[in-house]
Structures are given as C-alpha cells and as structure tokens.
Amino acid sequence: MRPLTKVALVLVALLGICQTLLIAAYFWPVAAVDTWLLDHWSISRILMLTLTSLVFIVFVAMLLVALFRRSIHQELVMTGDRGSLAISRQAVESAVAKAVAKEHAVKGVSVDVTMHKKEAAKVMVEAISMSGQSLAAQGQRIEETARAKVVQLLGTEVKKVKVHLMPVSQAPRGTARVL
C-alpha cells in the first residue's frame, strides 16, 4: 500500500469513527429524547444502535489495516557508495518472464512481483507448459530460474516464489478470429 493511500485511509477511518460516535451519542438515552423514542422508536432505536456499532467496527478495521499493513512499492531503491539506483517492479517482472520463457518450454508467461522497501518479497509466475514433462518438476525448475533471476537483478533474497503451470491441453483457447 502506498504511503499516500495509507494517509487517506487513516483520515477516512478517523472521520468514520467520529461520525459513528456522534450518532451513538445522539441515540444514547437522554430523558426527553428517550421518552419520545420509547413511545415511537423503541425498535428503531435498537436497530440504529446495532447498525452504528457495525459501522464503527468496519471503520476500526479500516484504521487497523491502514496502520499495520506493510507498504508495497512500485520500485526498489538501492543506495550504494556511488549513488542510488531505482529498479521498477515492471522491469523486474519483464526480466523474470523473459528468463523463464527462454530457459523453459512454456508460453504465456506472466510474472507478478511484490516488492517492499528493501526486498522482493513474493514472485508469482503463471505459464502454460508446452512439454510433456512432469508439471511438478518443471515448476520446481521454473521456481529456481525465477529466484535466481530476481537475486541477480536485485541482489536481495526472495521470500516466496509461487509457480502456477497449466498443461497445454487445459490452456484456455484464444478468441476466435472473425473474418
């Protein structure tokens, strides 16, 4: 999650919590309002307090997600003695996809990389296998290739590499050509 998104989410959550507390204070029993509500709105008052409680819980959950979810970056910035280097997520994804397609009998390679401040945390590779080999063995080799390529590009360890291979017989067919 980007820092600006986090700030916006925190502000929305705080406003929602304040709004919920104000509505709860309005519906909390006050002598004059309570007698009128008991005559006309006894069931509605309970319903409104219940719904307000649910909204409050949703906004508290939003606040917790905004505060404690780890930030995901679009580029990884590495600083050295000669300066800093920014590597974009798309560049890493493209390089890994090309390496996998070059070294293995696969087509339709799709790579998704999740990067945090100083590391590439997760790599997801999806492809269609063109060979008759075991998908598990081929997936293991693709995982090693993807991991090695990310380490070569970034110089940091990868926490998790997930490979999803589909045999060519189960691959979705391309759209039909219309003449």
Residue 35: band (very low, low, confident or very high) from pLDDT cuts 50, 70, 90: low
Give the integer Cα–Cα distance in Å for 112 and 96: 9
Separation of alpha carbons 141 and 145, rounded Å = 6
Q: Are 72 and 116 in contact (CB under 8 A)?
A: yes
Chain segment 44-72, per-residue pLDDT in tens: 667 667 767 877 888 888 888 888 876 66
The predicted pLDDT at position 24 comes to: 65
Q: Exposed, middle or buried by CB within 10 Å (0-12, 13-18, 19+), for 6? A: middle
For the chain, percent of residues with pLDDT exceeding 90: 11
Residue 113 has pLDDT above 70, yes or no: yes
Taking CA 41 as the corner, what is the angle to CA 35 and CA 42, rounded to the nearest 5 degrees?
80
Task: Flag whether pLDDT at 37 surpasses 60.
Answer: no
**Mean pLDDT across the chain, nearest whole number?**
78
pLDDT band at residue 30 under the 50/70/90 scheme: low
pLDDT, residue 36, reads: 60
Which among 113, 115, 140, 109 is positioned nearest to 124, based on CA atoms?
113
Its pTM stands at 0.57
Chain segment 125-139, per-residue pLDDT in tens: 998 888 877 888 888
d(CA 20, CA 105): 57
Q: How many residues does the chain have?
A: 179
Q: Is the pLDDT of residue 93 over 70?
A: yes
Gap between the Cα atoms of 36 and 97, Å rounded: 68
Q: Which of 103, 167, 107 is nearest to 135 (CA)?
A: 167
Please give the pLDDT value at position 61: 86
